[in-house]
């Protein structure tokens, strides 16, 4: 069976992706910060016969990422697909943002992706290839007041993804981005986000998950470099 490694898998898009991939017959490797939440996601799939490996890691801690991925891959086969979904958001004017918050956001939205990719690439190369899908945002291509730091991290993620694709093509590894408009996830209730968008008009996590599965199911002979999925209502 093919397998997928999903970061940020305990809730939101990550948990929805786990459901979609398991339903399509994939085995799962799930990473998130809280063991109890990961187990709650994993157990129903195990009961249905899916192989599920889990590892806890705080993606805000750069020293924790490589060991956590290594431990997971030590007991499970290399994933055919890696989905870098873990991330965060921050609202506030750039002029008033603390350096601590700036560095925290860049660690979660870009540096942790770099670290996970570095940790998975040797195993993926060894099995002859695979696919990496990085979850991005339409904020990478637009300017929104008080979302400047978030916009910058997602723009950098797009560039990182394109460069990684060029470097890994010869190893049979394809790199895609899923660029999303607003998705109704727990992100909107976090301490660092203050926004009053109508969540009923947003995409659902299940819609984002189905787009991830679509990208992962493309034949090895072709690549969807970027798939942009927006709410029908447009930019909220």
Active site residues: 150
Which two structure tokens, joined as six digits, stand for 10? Answer: 């305990």
Task: Report the C-alpha gap between 184 and 67 in whole angstroms.
Answer: 32
CA 182 to centroid of chain Cα atoms: 15
Instruction: For residue 214, count CB atoms less than 10 angstroms from its CB and return exposed for 0-12, middle for 13-18, buried for 19 or more.
Output: middle
Determine if residue 202 is left, alpha or beta; phi over 0 gives left, psi from -120 to 50 gives alpha, anything else beta.
beta
> Is 219 within 8 Å of 7 (Cβ atoms)?
no
Looking at the DSSP bridge assignments, the partners of residue 54 are 30
H-helix or E-strand spanning residue 203: strand 203-204
The label of the residue with tokens 């890696």 reads 82
Radius of gyration of the chain (CA): 17
């Amino acid at each position: 069976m093919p397998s997928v490694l999903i970061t940020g898998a305990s809730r939101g898009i990550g948990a929805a992706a786990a459901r979609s991939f398991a339903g399509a017959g994939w085995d799962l490797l799930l990473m998130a910060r809280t063991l109890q939440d990961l187990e709650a996601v994993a157990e129903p799939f195990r009961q249905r016969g899916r192989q599920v490996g889990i590892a806890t890691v705080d993606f805000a801690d750069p020293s924790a990422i490589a060991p956590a991925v290594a431990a997971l891959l030590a007991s499970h086969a290399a994933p055919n697909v890696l989905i870098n979904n873990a991330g965060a958001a921050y609202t506030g004017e750039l002029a008033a943002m603390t350096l601590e918050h700036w560095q925290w956001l860049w660690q979660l939205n870009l540096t942790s992706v770099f670290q996970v990719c570095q940790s998975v690439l040797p195993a993926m190369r060894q099995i002859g290839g695979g696919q990496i899908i990085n979850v991005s945002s339409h904020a990478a291509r637009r300017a929104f007041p008080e979302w400047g730091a978030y916009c910058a991290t997602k723009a950098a993620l797009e560039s990182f993804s394109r460069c990684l694709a060029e470097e890994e093509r010869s190893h049979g590894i394809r790199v895609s981005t899923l660029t999303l408009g607003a998705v109704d996830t727990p992100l909107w209730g976090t301490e660092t986000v203050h926004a009053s968008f109508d969540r009923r008009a947003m995409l659902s996590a299940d819609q984002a998950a189905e787009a991830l599965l679509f990208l992962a199911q493309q034949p090895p002979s072709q690549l969807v470099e970027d798939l942009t999925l927006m709410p029908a209502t447009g930019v909220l």
